[in-house]
Amino acid sequence: MKNESVVELIKDLTAKLSAVAEEFNGRIAQAEKPLSPADEPSDATLIEHANTVLAERRMRRRYLPEELFHEPAWDMLLALFVARDDRSPMNIKALVALSDAPVTTSQRWIEHLHKLKLIDRVVDPTDRRRVEISLSYNGEQAMKAYLRALARS
């Protein structure tokens, strides 16, 4: 009986997260009014903002208990945004290490981010055990929109 309750709870949470994802994707589609090209922050500025956010997130852990700041999905999205500047996808092992979360938790978040269409996964044809992760087009657009909003504020 207990396992059935857990399964139902997981199904309920998954449904709620899917609803949030649909709302989120709708917001991206109705993005803010574009700025003129002269006012638009450059990709380098956006990457700088992402790096600053990552550094600030890590700094908090020096002063406060780590369990207050577990957002592995957010850490992954920031790391993937910064990594995309190198035009090289990140493998799962590296992404898990950057998320500061247990491997199983990180893998669940990777699966969920993929379902939300925020990341792409590609199996390495030469080594099928290796899976490369990168931001999807939707993920990149969402991160850029957020980082632009940060730059404006």
* Mean pLDDT computed over 126-141: 91
> pTM for the whole thing?
0.69
Band the pLDDT of 18: cuts 50, 70, 90.
confident
100-123 pLDDT, tens digit each:
788 899 999 999 999 999 999 988
Angle separating helix axes 72-84 and 137-152, nearest 10 degrees: 90
Q: Which domains does the chain carry?
A: 31-152 (1.10.10.10)
SS (H, E, C) 64-97: CCHHHHCCHHHHHHHHHHHHHCCCCCEEHHHHHH
Lowest mean pLDDT among 21-25, 47-51, 57-61: 21-25
